[in-house]
């Protein structure tokens, strides 16, 4: 089992290039199978989750080729509509995007139930409701979601909750349905817009993505395209928070600053200096951050995927902060680990009450999921002494070259494969 070993205490400084957005890439990869023509996707992150989806697509007979590290060529002309089920796909959430894609293309899909980070119940009722409205019968049987339709037709769908996954899935299926679909209470996240732009570049007719009403006029066929994925809002946000945690000066490059507004606004409240450029944001934090309150909300609110990272930063603030998690019910699992590093945080239901402490101290901890794992690494970067973070496979699901990027900013962090390697690091940096 691999771990990160970190010697805390360095102030991170410099520029870091942000990778393509994982959650946009997953939707776009699934959608790229909806045409038999060749699709070229640029800015594709090279991460465990995207690679797992590519693996599952290959199992269906889809041809994929990484022309370079971040460019993938996809051709689904020889795709077979067989049940989607392999070891890799079971671990990721986005396996369910293949339901929307296959249902749209073949009017039938059978996909193993999704995995993903254990951050709450994560039901899929809104996806099923949307597919049913489009004329598909949906059922869960023997661990598979099965959706089938004689014909898919447009429908007026009102989601009961704002769901990124359901919005994306219905958008894909509705693209190849007959007539018009209207999705109300749609998710507005940047990756929803990115998928809509991608599908439109393949000949789809989608309007309104980025607002809470999306209108889709079905088309008969999609064609090949060449498309570049947007930069990763959460990777950028994580690096910005690394600056706040380590009292650093980091410029995230190759980003869309508008996507980072809610994060920049909180960092300003915390006393950091933010400078925005056309495609970069600089975060400079010279002293201890100030406390503030945060509530996670669908976009453009503060992202749930940044909640652990900001909690780690606020754990070192000068006052008391309240962080409320309103999207997922079980996203404070990392707090016990952070407490073992000296944090003073009390969790009551969906709220964390954080009394800032002056410092964290290094400990041997475990990443419970992707974002919480990244947040614990940030804590290790500033902690006194050495921190070991186990279960880093969670982090590598969604951050490309995470520890190497941190190193390029001055962090002392290495990957260790076993206990002797951890011990060597301890001796070197004791």
Q: List residues with catalytic annotation.
A: 117
* For residue 385, cis peptide bond before it (omega within 30 degrees of 0): no
Q: Which residues lie closer than 8 Å to 14 by C-beta, 6 or more apart?
A: 249, 250, 251, 408, 409, 410
Applying CB under 6 A, does 375 fall inside the site for ligand EPZ? no
Q: Which stretch binds ligand EPZ (CB under 6 A): 39-47, 159-167, 341-349, 414-422?
A: 159-167
Q: Identify residues 29-88 at the interface with ligand EPZ (CB under 6 A).
A: none
Task: For the CB of residue 45, give the shortest distance to ligand EPZ in the complex, in Å.
Answer: 11
Is residue 139 classed as helix, strand or coil in its secondary structure? Answer: strand
Applying CB under 6 A, does 370 fall inside the site for ligand EPZ? yes
Applying CB under 6 A, does 164 fall inside the site for ligand EPZ? yes
Applying CB under 6 A, does 255 fall inside the site for ligand EPZ? no
Which residue number places its CB atom closest to ligand EPZ? 165
Distances (CA, A) of 35 to 72, 176, 197, 332: 15, 10, 15, 41
Task: For the CB of residue 117, give the shortest distance to ligand EPZ in the complex, in Å.
Answer: 5
Task: For the CB of residue 133, give the shortest distance to ligand EPZ in the complex, in Å.
Answer: 13
| Identity of the residue, 104 or 368, whose beta carbon is nearer to ligand EPZ in the bound complex | 368
| Identity of the residue, 102 or 187, whose beta carbon is nearer to ligand EPZ in the bound complex | 187
Task: For the CB of residue 115, give the shortest distance to ligand EPZ in the complex, in Å.
Answer: 11
Q: Exactly one of 3, 19, 23, 311 binds ligand EPZ (CB under 6 A); which one? A: 23
Applying CB under 6 A, does 327 fall inside the site for ligand EPZ? yes
Token duo for residue 351: 């709220």
The DSSP symbol for 64 reads: E
Q: Which stretch binds ligand EPZ (CB under 6 A): 135-143, 150-158, 160-168, 209-217?
A: 160-168
Token duo for residue 359: 């410092």
Applying CB under 6 A, does 248 fall inside the site for ligand EPZ? no
Task: For the CB of residue 381, give the shortest distance to ligand EPZ in the complex, in Å.
Answer: 20
| Identity of the residue, 104 or 398, whose beta carbon is nearer to ligand EPZ in the bound complex | 398
Task: For the CB of residue 166, give the shortest distance to ligand EPZ in the complex, in Å.
Answer: 5
The DSSP symbol for 20 reads: B
Q: Exactly one of 82, 125, 184, 211 binds ligand EPZ (CB under 6 A); which one? A: 125
| Identity of the residue, 92 or 416, whose beta carbon is nearer to ligand EPZ in the bound complex | 92
Is residue 372 classed as helix, strand or coil in its secondary structure? Answer: helix
Task: For the CB of residue 429, give the shortest distance to ligand EPZ in the complex, in Å.
Answer: 30
Task: For the CB of residue 308, give the shortest distance to ligand EPZ in the complex, in Å.
Answer: 10
74/59 Cα distance (integer angstroms): 13
Unique residue bearing structure tokens 């680990």? 337
Q: Which stretch binds ligand EPZ (CB under 6 A): 69-77, 119-127, 205-213, 373-381?
A: 119-127
Q: Exactly one of 68, 87, 121, 349 binds ligand EPZ (CB under 6 A); which one? A: 121
Applying CB under 6 A, does 93 fall inside the site for ligand EPZ? yes
Unique residue bearing structure tokens 């794992």? 373
| Identity of the residue, 305 or 414, whose beta carbon is nearer to ligand EPZ in the bound complex | 305
Backbone angles phi, psi at 283, to 5 degrees: -120, 120
DSSP string over 375-388:
HHHHHHHHSBSEEE
Task: For the CB of residue 92, give the shortest distance to ligand EPZ in the complex, in Å.
Answer: 7
DSSP string over 170-213:
HHHHHHTSBSEEEEES----HHHHHHHHHHHHTT-EEE-BTBSE
Q: Identify residues 297-326 at the interface with ligand EPZ (CB under 6 A).
A: 304-305
8 A C-beta contact, residue 259 and residue 245:
no
| Identity of the residue, 4 or 399, whose beta carbon is nearer to ligand EPZ in the bound complex | 399
Q: Exactly one of 30, 31, 53, 94 binds ligand EPZ (CB under 6 A); which one? A: 94
176/303 Cα distance (integer angstroms): 31
8 A C-beta contact, residue 178 and residue 218:
yes
Question: How many helical (H) and strand (E) elements, i.e. helices and strands, does the chain have?
Answer: 15, 23
Task: Report which of 204, 197, 199, 207 is spatially closest to residue 218, judged by C-alpha positions.
Answer: 204
Q: Exactly one of 5, 16, 26, 272 binds ligand EPZ (CB under 6 A); which one? A: 26
Does an H or E element contain 1, and which?
Answer: none
Applying CB under 6 A, does 126 fall inside the site for ligand EPZ? yes
174/156 Cα distance (integer angstroms): 11
Distances (CA, A) of 411 to 89, 266, 425: 33, 24, 14
Q: What is the CA radius of gyration of the chain?
A: 22
Applying CB under 6 A, does 117 fall inside the site for ligand EPZ? yes
Binding residues for ligand EPZ (CB under 6 A): 23, 26, 93-94, 117, 120-127, 161, 163-166, 187, 304-305, 327-328, 370-371, 398
């Amino acid at each position: 089992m691999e771990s990160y070993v970190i010697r805390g205490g360095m102030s991170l400084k410099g520029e870091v290039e942000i990778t393509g957005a994982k959650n946009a890439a997953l939707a776009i990869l699934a959608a790229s199978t909806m045409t038999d023509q060749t699709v070229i996707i640029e800015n594709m992150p090279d991460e465990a989750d995207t690679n797992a989806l590519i693996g599952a697509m290959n199992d269906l007979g889809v041809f994929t080729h990484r022309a370079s590290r971040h460019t993938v060529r996809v051709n689904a002309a020889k795709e077979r509509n067989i049940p989607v089920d392999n070891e890799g796909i079971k671990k990721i959430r986005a396996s369910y995007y293949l339901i929307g894609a296959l249902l749209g293309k073949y009017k039938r899909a059978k996909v193993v139930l999704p995995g993903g980070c254990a951050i709450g119940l994560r039901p899929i009722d809104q996806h099923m409701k949307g597919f049913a409205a489009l004329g598909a019968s949906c059922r869960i049987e023997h661990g598979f979601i099965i959706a089938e339709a004689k014909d898919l037709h447009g429908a007026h769908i009102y989601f009961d909750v704002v769901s990124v996954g359901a919005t994306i899935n219905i958008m894909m299926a509705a693209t190849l349905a007959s007539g018009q679909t209207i999705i109300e209470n749609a998710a507005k996240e940047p990756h929803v817009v990115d998928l809509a732009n991608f599908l439109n570049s393949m000949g789809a007719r989608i309007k309104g993505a980025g607002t809470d009403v999306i209108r889709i006029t079905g088309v008969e066929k999609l064609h090949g395209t060449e498309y570049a994925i947007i930069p990763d809002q959460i990777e950028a946000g994580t690096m910005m928070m690394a600056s706040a945690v380590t009292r650093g000066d980091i410029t995230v490059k190759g980003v869309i600053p508008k996507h980072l507004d809610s994060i920049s606004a909180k960092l300003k409240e915390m006393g950091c200096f933010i400078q925005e450029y056309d495609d970069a944001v600089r975060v400079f934090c010279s002293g201890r951050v100030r406390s503030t309150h945060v509530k996670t909300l669908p976009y453009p609110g503060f992202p749930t995927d940044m909640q652990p990272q900001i909690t780690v930063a606020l754990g070192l603030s000068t006052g008391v902060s309240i962080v409320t998690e309103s999207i997922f019910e079980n996203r404070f699992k990392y707090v016990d680990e952070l407490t073992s590093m000296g944090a003073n945080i009390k969790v009551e239901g969906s709220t964390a009450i954080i009394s800032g402490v002056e410092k964290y101290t290094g400990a041997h901890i475990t990443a419970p999921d992707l974002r919480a794992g990244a947040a614990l690494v940030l804590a290790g970067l500033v902690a006194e002494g050495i921190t070991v973070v186990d279960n880093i496979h969670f982090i590598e699901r969604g951050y490309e070259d995470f520890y190497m990027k941190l190193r390029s900013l001055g962090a002392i962090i290495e990957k260790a494969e076993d206990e002797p390697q951890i011990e060597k690091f301890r001796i070197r940096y004791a």
